[in-house]
Structures are given as structure tokens and as C-alpha cells.
Amino acid sequence: MRALFLLVSLWLAGIVLADSGGERPDSVAEADMKAAYIYNFGAFTEWPESNRISFNICTLGDDRVGRSLKRYEGKLINNRRVAVARLSSLAAIADCQILFIGDAELPKLGRIAHELGQQAVLTVADAPVLPQVGMVIALQGQRLAFEVNLDYCKRANLKPQSNLLRLARSVRKSD
Amino acid sequence: MTFGALKTISVWIGLHLVGGLACAETARDLSDTPFEQLVQQEVVPASRLAQQISDSPSAVAIVTADDIRAYGYRTLADVINGMRGLYTTYDYRYQYMGGRSFGVPGDYAGRIMLMIDGHATQDSLFNQAYIDNSGLIDLDLVERVEYVPGTGSVTYGSNAMLGIINVVTRQGASFNGGQAAGEVFSHGGRKERLTYGKRFENGADVLFSVSALDVNGRNRYFPAYDTPSTNNGVAEARDWERNRRLFGKFSYEGLTLEAAYVDRNKAVPTNPSYYTAFNSLFAIRDENAFLNGRYETDLGLSLYSSTRFYYGQYVYDAFREFSDDSDGEKYGQRRFEGKWWGLDQKFVGNWFRDHSLVFGVEYRNDFRQNFHWRYLSAAHETVRTVQEDYARRTISLYLTDEIRLDDQWSLNLGARYDDASDLAPNWSPRLAAIYRPAAETTWKASYSEAFRMPNANDRSTYGAAAAPEYVAASELVLQHEFTPRLRFTGSLYRYKRSRQLVYNAVADDYLPEGSSTSRGLEVELERSWESGIRVRGSMAWQDASNVQGAQLANSPHVLGKFNLSFPVLADRWRVGFEGQYLGSRLALVQEEMGGSVPDQKRLGAMALANLTLSSQRTWYGFSASFSIRNLFDRHYEAVSPFAWRPASDIPQDTLRMDGRTYWFQLRCDF
């Protein structure tokens, strides 16, 4: 019984410690904010002409962001309706306009780049891999920041608008 | 601790959290917020604690490879003992698991599913999930273990009745080369392992491992046999154990091939039956193997496909000596064999906005379920053989729809239809509602029904009386992340089992007319610090009854777990301390014999502690772990599966467990 009471009191102590952590202001989950960023990347980029009906935002290896993106389905980017696809393989990545690559699939970055070539697919990651993708989202203190790889965008024939570049933490450009 | 206390605590938790929710009103529709404002807004960083992978609306418990190392876990049974609301019972043959609404060793097989990388590994005769040295996997190869309490028949059909243990193995890339490991431990034990894992440039990943375990064991004392004619209760050198394991995995693009094999031999010091001789050789052998091939791909943007083929086999051998051979039969030999294969085609369709449809079909053929008994004379000549054969083919269809109602509410509706060749078809439904009022808080409420088909052993034992058994489960789960490093999990549940087999004196047979109810509450707090300290504490209160309405045997009302690990010596080593509390529990009712009356012993509550020291870095490729289990050398007993009395008329309702034991492992990466 002594051990039991010890455990209960430890647990209660934990609750109390947790409560003393203080109230936080209304805030947004990291995954929800990443989804909002990704949607805005799409909205503030000039896309090459295409006869596709939908604007496809895909995720690979991060279901949380994939779920958060669902609420943007049906909104318009480039006059096309947004469709969200949570992919499990590279089989259909060429059909995406934006491809978000989560941690779990980062080892495949090389093959993704090879597979996409110079197609107009904007790749986004949330790890320090900017040289290999179009944009990177990173946690900076309590806020999210992002970086743009203009070289990548140029190769893929994508034109990020000036207000997007203005908000970016850094822009990678070789010339 | 009583159920009054349980109610008080649950009400308190309810109030506490409803209060917390009321002020968690958020405007989370970010889609209309200008980007300039978004970049200024603060976010709640994603949790730094391990997240569940299983898509299940219950309170999942997670143990990661880091935990396995930090707490010196060596078998799945060790992992399970560290999880909220779970415990295991050992009878020198197998480790049996106990948890919500099950605890009697005989209740375990057939009601818990053990999946390794999505493949169900229970054998096809007893449907037992092997979690000790007879299990298929070395824990050094495990990335994480998730325990999903409650029903899973909606996804997996029969056997996923009271819980699912999900094991995910490591990628070859995580070894990135070879690793050799040697272990020595108490009771003359040693183990060797050789592993090679690598990811190649083209993305192919391979993992291969082989291991061998040998334990001398020790002399075991059994008070019920403490008579001069039965060696004063000592089973001498009848506790040895050996196993050999092989594991291989290859994955490339969407294709994964995986195979595992284990051959475990164990001498059993207990006397298996009234007719056998104490302190004579009783040896068992369990051989388990599987081959699993899976191909996953995306058929366009809205359709995912997973095609799976599997083959499995199981062999059980046992040898025993009878005390009375006046009928000319001195030895008994058993060989049971099961073989099966199956195909599973699963799709996930995202054609409709706010709907995610999972559907598929599975075919399974248990084409060999063979029981063979052979009786030998003192001169080892065959006197008599008995043989039984069974088979079963099952076709199953399943459909689940995950419906997103709005940013806060979603529903999960599903059902699975199983049609076995020897049984009436069965439906297993599940309804769940998930509510996320804030980024940090998730509520899940679910109702589900699950079942278990009578296995080959039931058909052999009960004949025509063998029938499916059912459970209806309701559960309310709350997860709240106070910070990304502090998580609360609470679960309130009620299980009603029905159509359990009970002996009916009028019919003089077993009839499926028993039912029983269990309810309980579990709470857990988990916290980590940036400095590397990790702590997890949980309490579980449960009230499980048997078919007579009395307290279920070997099912304590209270279970407590406490795990703490922290780095020491400039992060070079890590200390892992584990405390486990098991409340008092009832032994099995002992059958009457001679002048005695049936009685049922109550085992006192007990607390055990384990301590592990493990290196965090390699030194010229070397790393090491050292564990002391049962740190304070507590003498304790486990509920025994035996309900009969030997000639001494002393009940054998408990078995003595080990005191303090030591374990040392040295690893070398090359």
C-alpha cells in the first residue's frame, strides 16, 4: 500500500507541476500552421499553364500535416480547386503541384528529386534540407519561419511572388 | 483502494478537464488569415513525446527503442510489464499477459493479437501470442511497441478481442553495418547475436539477424511436492532453456519481404498433470515461423493499395513421463502442427472530401491443424497413437470510413465481416467519435464489438460445444498535452464479454452461456526534459468479474507503474529505474480432494523495482548495458495455472518467482 500511495502522490505532483506551467494564449498547433503555410506557398506562387482541373497538394511521410491540409480542400489556387492527397509511395508524386515531405521520408529526397526532374512541383520539407527542396519550414522560437530556394523554383519554372520572398527568413540564390 | 475512490477520481478528472476545455476556445480557421499575420502568430510546437501510429480510438501505450535500451527490456513480456494497466504471469513454460478483463493464464491465448510489422503472429492451434523467449523477435531489432487495449476485430477479425500488441521492427539503415552482441545473465544464461543492416544508394534496405540463447536454469522448489518420495519438492536441473532465432527483412520501393523463425526448447520444472511424475523430464518445444510479403503503392492521388501475402507455421513438441505405467504407457509424446497462408488486399480511398475510406478483402487458409499424441512403453516402443486433424478457410471483408465533420469533430465508423468454413458468419462493428477542442486536447469515445473463433485446440477439447465468444467494449479516452513535453492520458472503459464456455451440470457439457463484465479507469502522465530526463507514471483501477460474478482470478484491482530514466556522467550513460506495483489478486480455486474443501488463496500486493545502466555512446564501436531485475530481492509468488492437488493434498495455487537477477550485454558495431 505504501508503494501505491507513493505512486499516487508522484502522479498528483506531476499534475500540479503541469498546472503551474501557466495559461497559454490561444494558439495554433504546429501541424495546422504548417498546413496554412503550405496553402499560402501555393497561393503566392505563379504557376505555369496547366490543363489540370485540380490543384494537388500532397504529403508524404507526415500524416498530421496531411490531415490539417484537409480543410483547404475545395479552396481555389490559380483558379483550380485544391485537392489533398496523403501519399505512401513515390508512384504518383509527379501529379502533385506541392509535395510536402515529412521526416520519415527524408531519406528518399534524392530519388524524389531525380523522379521529378524539372517538372513544376514545389517540394517542401520541415528539416534543414534547403539545397534539395523548394521551400523549408522551420520552428523558430514560438513561431514558424520559412526559407525559399530560388534556384530550385527557377528550374521548376515556379515564380514565388515578391510578398512571399519578403516574408521569408532567407532566400537561397546562386547568382 | 476501492471503487468509491475510483469514482471520486474519475469525477475529479472529468471536472478538471471540462474546466480546462471551456477556456480553450480557439479560432483555428487559418485559411482566411493573411499570410503576413500568420507568420507573426505563435504555435504550439508538436509533441516531443512518442506519438501513436495505430489508427485506433483507444488509449494506446507506446514503448520506443530508447525505452527498450534504457530499461534493459529483453522480452516483449518485460515491455508489457512496463505498460499502463498490464502485467504478465510466468509458469516456467510461457509468459501470459493480463490486462483489462483478462488475467487467468488460460484466458490469454486467443484473445490478444501480436502483430510484427502488420503481420499477425499467433499460432493457428492455440492462437497464442508468444511474448517470452519463444517469441519471434529479438528486442534489439525493435523500433517501437504499441499496445492497443480493447477490441480490434473491426480491422483484424478473430483474436483481436481484448488487445493488440503492435511491434515495428527497425530499418537496416539504423544499424548501418554489422553489430555483434554478447550477453551473460543469472542462472547460467548467455546469448549471442549477430546483426547486419544497411540502406543502399538505390533506396533498398536490408536487415538480417541471427541469435542464440542458452540458460542452464536452476533447481526449483515446489512446496506441494515436499515429500521424501518426490525429492522433497525440488525439481533438479529442470529449468533450462534454449532458443535460436533468425530474422530477415528486405525493402525496396513499395515492396517489403520479411521472414522470421524461432525454435525454443524449454524444460519445465512444474508437474504438468496428475498422471505425470514430479521431477521427471518434461520438455516442450515451440517453433514459430512466418514469411510476409507486402507491396504498397499509390494508384493515382486518391487511392492507396496494399497487397499482402503471408505464410506461417507452428510446431509444438512435448515429452513427459507418467508416474503410473501399469497400463504399459510410460512416456507421452505430443506433436502439434499448424500451417496457414493468406492474402490481404487493402485500399484506402480519398475520393470524397472529408471521407477517408479503408476497405479490403482477406482470405486465409488454415490448411493444416494437426494434433498427434504418441504413448511409449518403458522400452520406448510405441504403444498407442491418437491423431486429430482440423482445417478452416476464412474469407473476410472490411470497410471503415473516417469522416471529418469539422475542424474539431470526426467520426470513425467501420465493420468487418468474417465468414469461416466451419462457423456462421460474423459482423464486428465499431463506432467512434473524436473531438479535438484545442490543439492540445483530444477526446475519443468508442463502442465496438469483437469476437474470437474457437481455435483448433478448442475444437479438439470441447468438440461440438466449441463456439465463438464475444465482447462489447465502450471506452472514453482523453489525451491532453499540457506542454509538448508533458502529456496526460486517461481512459474509462467497460467491457462485457458474452457466450463464454461454462460447465453446465444438467447438460453435463460445456455450454456458451457465460457472461462477465469489467470496468476500470487508467491514468498516465508522461514527461520529458530537454536535458534527457524522461519520466512516466500510471495507475490503473479495474474491477473484472468472472462468469459467476465474483472477482476474476489473477486480476488485481490496482496496478501502478513508474519509469524514470536520466543521463549521467556527461551524457555518456543512462540510468533507467522502473517500479511496478501489482495489487492483491486471487489464485485459482483449488479442486477438492480427499478430506479437503475447495479454497481460493489471495496473494498479497507486491512492488518490484528494476535498475538499468546503459551506455549512450559507442567507444571504439563498443557499448554496454547492465541490469538488475527485482533490485530489492523481493520474494514473491505468481498465480499458478494449476487447480488440482498432488498426492500431498497441498494446493499448488502459487509459483515462486525469481529474486534479484543480473544481466550484462556488450555490443560491438563494425
User: How far A92 CA sits from the closest chain B CA (Å)?
Assistant: 6
Cβ-Cβ contacts under 8 Å, B43 against chain A = 27-30, 32-33, 139, 142-144
Cβ-Cβ contacts under 8 Å, A3 against chain B = 560, 579, 581, 605, 607
Per-domain residue ranges of chain A: 2-170
Whether B32 has its CB under 8 Å from any CB of chain A: the answer is no
Where helices occur in B538-639 by DSSP H, the ranges are none
What region, left, alpha or beta, does residue B328 occupy, with left being phi > 0 and alpha being psi -120 to 50 degrees? Answer: left
User: How far B2 CA sits from the closest chain A CA (Å)?
Assistant: 12
pLDDT-based confidence at residue B19 (cuts at 50, 70, 90): very low
Separation between Cα atoms, residue B573 and residue B566, nearest integer Å? 9
Can you list the positions of beta strands (E) in B121-176?
Answer: 142-149, 163-169
The pLDDT tens digits of the residues spanning A120-140 come to 999 999 999 999 999 999 998
Residues in chain A: 175
Cβ-Cβ contacts under 8 Å, A71 against chain B = 29, 31, 407
| Torsion sign (Cα): B457, B461, B466, B468 | negative
Residue B610 carries which side chain, given as an amino acid letter?
A: N
Separation between Cα atoms, residue B589 and residue A145, nearest integer Å? 65
Phi first, then psi, for residue B66 (nearest 5°) are -65, -40
pLDDT at B353 (0 to 100): 83
Write the residue in B23, B43, B301 that is nearest to A56 by C-beta.
B301
pLDDT-based confidence at residue B24 (cuts at 50, 70, 90): very low
pLDDT-based confidence at residue A21 (cuts at 50, 70, 90): very low
CATH of range A2-170; options 1.10.3470, 1.10.8, 3.30.70, 3.40.50: 3.40.50
Separation between Cα atoms, residue A160 and residue B320, nearest integer Å? 78
Name residues 34-73 of chain A within 8 A of B (Cβ): 35-37, 39-40, 43-44, 56, 58, 64, 70-73
Cβ-Cβ contacts under 8 Å, A139 against chain B = 43, 45
User: How far B559 CA sits from the closest chain A CA (Å)?
Assistant: 8
pTM assigned to the model: 0.89
Degrees to nearest 5, angle at CA B35 with A79 and B353: 50
The helix/strand/coil state of B30 is coil
Cβ-Cβ contacts under 8 Å, A43 against chain B = 35
Write the residue in B27, B304, B560 that is nearest to A3 by C-beta.
B560
Which residue reads 535460436 in cell numbers?
A: B244
Q: Which residues are within 8 A (CB) of B595 and not within 5 positions of it... i.e. 6 or more apart?
A: B649
Count residue pairs from A and B with Cβ separation < 8 A. 165
The pLDDT tens digits of the residues spanning B304-326 come to 999 999 999 999 999 999 988 88
Say yes or no to pLDDT of B133 above 60. yes
| Mean pLDDT, range A37-66, rounded to an integer | 90
Buried b (16+ CB within 10 A) or exposed e, B274-291: eebbbbeebebbbbbbbb
pLDDT at B479 (0 to 100): 93
Cβ-Cβ contacts under 8 Å, B38 against chain A = 33, 36-37, 40
**B635: number of Cβ within 10 Å:** 10
The helix/strand/coil state of A112 is helix
Range in B23-32, B52-61, B362-371, B610-619 the model is least confident about = B23-32
Chain A residue whose CA is closest to B51: A64
The helix/strand/coil state of B661 is strand
Asked if residues B39 and A145 have their Cβ atoms less than 8 Å apart, the reply is: yes
pLDDT-based confidence at residue A22 (cuts at 50, 70, 90): very low
User: How far B618 CA sits from the closest chain A CA (Å)?
Assistant: 24
Cβ-Cβ contacts under 8 Å, A163 against chain B = 35-36
Whether B530 has its CB under 8 Å from any CB of chain A: the answer is no
Write the residue in A39, A58, A73 that is nearest to B301 by C-beta.
A58
User: How far A155 CA sits from the closest chain B CA (Å)?
Assistant: 24
pLDDT-based confidence at residue B654 (cuts at 50, 70, 90): very high
Separation between Cα atoms, residue B430 and residue B247, nearest integer Å? 35
Q: What is the 3-state secondary structure (H, E, C) of B446-487?
A: EEEEEEECCCHHHHHHHHHHCCCEEEEEEEEEEEEEEECCEE
Say yes or no to pLDDT of B46 above 90. no
Write the residue in A1, A44, A71 that is nearest to B605 by C-beta.
A1
| Mean pLDDT, range B425-444, rounded to an integer | 92
Write the residue in B38, B527, B560 that is nearest to A14 by C-beta.
B527
Separation between Cα atoms, residue B629 and residue B609, nearest integer Å? 7
The pLDDT tens digits of the residues spanning B3-12 come to 455 455 555 5
Phi first, then psi, for residue A19 (nearest 5°) are -65, -30
CB contact under 8 A, B407 and A71: yes
| Mean pLDDT, range B153-174, rounded to an integer | 92
Residue B215 carries which side chain, given as an amino acid letter?
A: V
Asked if residues B71 and B82 have their Cβ atoms less than 8 Å apart, the reply is: yes
Range in A8-12, B236-240, B377-381 the model is least confident about = A8-12
pLDDT at A26 (0 to 100): 61
Degrees to nearest 5, angle at CA A114 with A108 and A118: 130
| Mean pLDDT, range B382-387, rounded to an integer | 95
Which residue reads 478452416 in cell numbers?
A: B392
CB contact under 8 A, A87 and B298: yes
Cβ-Cβ contacts under 8 Å, A91 against chain B = 254, 297-299
The helix/strand/coil state of B598 is coil
Cβ-Cβ contacts under 8 Å, A18 against chain B = 482-483, 486, 488, 525, 527
Residue A39 carries which side chain, given as an amino acid letter?
A: Y
Indicate the DSSP class of residue B659: -
Asked if residues B555 and B520 have their Cβ atoms less than 8 Å apart, the reply is: no
The helix/strand/coil state of A105 is helix
Name residues 129-158 of chain B within 8 A of A (Cβ): none
Write the residue in B38, B46, B350 that is nearest to A85 by C-beta.
B350
pLDDT at B28 (0 to 100): 55
Q: What is the CA radius of gyration of chain A?
A: 20
Write the residue in A74, A89, A139 that is nearest to B296 by C-beta.
A89
The helix/strand/coil state of B424 is coil
Torsion of CA A159, A161, A162, A163, to 10 degrees: -150
pLDDT at B21 (0 to 100): 45
Whether B22 has its CB under 8 Å from any CB of chain A: the answer is no
Which residue in B161, B2, B169 sits closest to B97, CA to CA? B161
Q: Which residues are within 8 A (CB) of B620 and not within 5 positions of it... i.e. 6 or more apart?
A: none
Q: Which residues are within 8 A (CB) of B348 and not within 5 positions of it... i.e. 6 or more apart?
A: B303, B304, B356, B357, B358
pLDDT-based confidence at residue B20 (cuts at 50, 70, 90): very low
